[in-house]
Amino acid sequence: MNNKRIIVTGGAGFIGTNLVRKLCDNNQVTVVDNLHTGSVENIKDLVDSGKVRFVKSDVKNLRKSGIDADVVFHLGIYSASPMYRKDPQLVSEVIAGTIDVLEYVKERNAKLVFASTSSIYNSIDPPHRENIIPLVTDFYTEARLSAERLLELYNKLFGIDAQAVRFFSVYGKYEKAKEGYANLATQFLLAMKHDRQPEIYGDGTQRRDFIYAEDLADLLIAASSKKGFNVYNAGTGKNYDLNELVAMINRMLGKNIKPKYVQMPVKNYVMVTLADTTKIKKELGFEPKVPLETGLEIINKFYS
């Protein structure tokens, strides 16, 4: 992608930062972020150098911002299930914010890429394909599903090009500001680097499809070129249980730290995620480049 005017909502957050760094050399990038879980420090060097413009704002102010864009990456959405359990009203905020973004895109004839979630596949047998019928499971999932349906509706009514990308377990650089909402791979690594036991719900046999954040950024950019409304999985097609993850980190660090197993505290916990990657390979030509072992080594150095 080159010579585009781009808005990244949530662009000072973990995933947004990785995406912005992919885009900023060849495009005019504006980050719009209310800093709920993001940090200006993630992109300070880009802002100071003039590569990126930063606007502290909520997406509901986007239409009156005066910012023009050819493409909007809408990542500025409450991003973890515990947030919604604590405050179910966040569902309505996600829907309202998505409508505001869609109205902006409609008015400016821009393209939209939306951050959805693999939690939509909760209680569905893997591998998870984009055409499944979701079950009713939790507030977080309902927010993303409603937003996806709005994307499809705006495509049908107004011809908007809108892509929903369902994120699987994303880990990588610039995630520290998320603290307890960070991906388990990052949480476990940071704990074990400081000789603390990682905490695991249940017995650790739950499985996750981990995708490195820079790979995800490449997939988002690829999705932005598509027309119409489409849904894409953002995963690798390979998963690991949490005991395997702990063992992998121990080997890398040369340690032998045992996890702390705790009773499952939530209902409808997602036990298995595994992306069917057929569609992203066929339609986007996407193949993840960074296996989990390599990604852990990269972030181990980054967080040193």
CATH number, residue 117:
3.40.50.720
Q: Give domain status of residue 79, yes or no.
A: yes
Q: Give domain status of residue 114, yes or no.
A: yes
Question: What gap in Å lies between CA 251 and CA 295, rounded to an integer?
Answer: 14
Using alpha carbons, select from 254, 229, 253, 238 the residue that is nearest to residue 292: 238
Give whole-number Cα distances, 132 to 159, 207, 219, 269, in Å. 24, 20, 21, 19
Q: Are 11 and 32 in contact (CB under 8 A)?
A: yes
pLDDT for position 93: 93
Q: Give domain status of residue 25, yes or no.
A: yes
pLDDT for position 282: 98
Structure token pair of residue 225: 């070129």
Ramachandran assignment for 235, one of left (phi > 0), alpha (psi -120 to 50 degrees), beta (any other):
beta
Structure token pair of residue 200: 């695991």
Average pLDDT in the chain: 95
- Based on the number of CB atoms within 10 Å of its own CB, is 153 exposed (0-12), middle (13-18) or buried (19 or more)? middle
CA dihedral (74, 80, 83, 87) positive or negative: positive
- Length of the chain, in residues: 304
Domain that holds residue 119: 5-171+210-235+275-288
Count of structural domains, the chain: 1
> pLDDT tens digit string along 267-297?
778 899 999 999 999 999 999 999 999 999 9
Residue 116 β-bridge partners: 166
The structure tokens 């049908």 sit at: 156
pLDDT for position 165: 98
pLDDT for position 180: 73
Walk along the chain (304 residues) in steps of 10 and give the mean pLDDT of each run. 94 96 96 90 96 94 93 91 90 95 97 96 95 93 96 98 97 84 92 96 95 98 98 98 98 97 84 97 97 97 93
pLDDT for position 36: 84
pLDDT for position 44: 96
Using alpha carbons, select from 26, 3, 36, 1 the residue that is nearest to residue 11: 36
Q: Give domain status of residue 293, yes or no.
A: no
pLDDT for position 81: 83
Q: Give domain status of residue 252, yes or no.
A: no
> Which residues, 6+ apart, have CB-to-CB distance to 247 below 8 Å?
none
pLDDT for position 270: 86
* Residue 274 DSSP class: -
Quick check: helix, strand or coil at residue 159? Answer: coil
Q: Are 199 and 260 in contact (CB under 8 A)?
A: yes
Q: Give domain status of residue 229, yes or no.
A: yes
pLDDT for position 178: 72
Residue 54 β-bridge partners: 31
Q: Give domain status of residue 98, yes or no.
A: yes
Q: Give domain status of residue 196, yes or no.
A: no
Q: Up-side HSE of residue 69: CA atoms within 13 Å toward CB?
A: 30
Quick check: helix, strand or coil at residue 24? Answer: coil
